Homo-oligomer: A and B are copies of this chain.
Amino acid sequence: RRRGYPEAVLCDAKTVDQVRRVAAECRERAHGPVLFTRADPARAEAVLGELPDALHVPEARMVAWPPRPPEASGGTVVVVGAGTSDLPVALEAELTARYLGRPTELVVDVGVAGLHRILGHLELLRDPAVRAIVVAAGMDGALPSVVAGLVSAPVVAVPTSVGYGASFQGVAALLTMLNSCSPGVAVVNIDNGYGAGHLAAQIAAPGPQPAD
């Protein structure tokens, strides 16, 4: 990739065999890093068969190779998850940001039904070292509006498909986030933790530094 970022392989649109072949190629070309995203157990296993030392994080449905992310540099990326059910997406964002070379922090179970929970993390969220905040939320998707109202850093909102009925597999949360009444929020696709983490890492990238 000409832009110097890790290669990513979206596994769920590929057969197990196609995934295995991509992993084998990685092994042969012996350069990385590469991220296998949305990998169910069968596809993760196919990758590990070819790249046995790869890092498998089942909760994030990811396999990353080589097993260690690059040295961290640039601003910190904070990843916030509204509820436990948003954890897979939050973890996917965090791991992606780390493999793009950023220091990361994870904050979870801080939905707006209990405001004191997110308010308890204000110090971290407002830390000047923090250059990007990813917020993952399902159901009403209200958390990014609240977070963006509290901080100066840009917020990357990820709607999750958590919910039922009129949540429409994440559409309700997506619309909430697109209509945020706080400026400073942009949105990625539903359940797209990878995209959110990638963008956040680009935002927080170190130099060639802008003049201050």
Contacts and interface: CB of A to CB of B under 8 A. Distances in A.
Contact of A115 (B73, B149, B177): B149
Interface stretch (A42-50, A62-70, A137-145): A137-145
A20 interface: no
Contacts of A210: 74-76, 129, 131, 152, 204, 206
A172 interface: yes
B166 A190 contact: yes
Interface residues of A, number: 96
Contacts of A182: 112-113
B189 A188 contact: no
A84 B185 CA distance: 22
Given A128-B209, A149-B112, A176 B172 contact: yes
A194 interface: yes
A169 B119 CA distance: 31
A207 interface: yes
Interface string A173-212: 1111111111111111111101110110011111111111
A202 B153 CA distance: 6
Contact of A13 (B85, B166, B172, B190): B85
How many protomers of this protein does the assembly include?
8
B153 A179 contact: no
Contacts of A212: 73-74, 126, 150-152, 206-207
A82 interface: yes
B156 A166 contact: no
A53 interface: no
Contacts of A151: 3, 209, 212
A1 to B, nearest CB: 8
B161 A165 contact: yes
A73 B210 CA distance: 9
A163 B183 contact: no
Given A152-B209, A204-B210, 11 more contacts: A3-B152, A112-B112, A113-B149, A115-B119, A131-B210, A132-B203, A140-B180, A166-B170, A166-B190, A186-B196, A207-B212
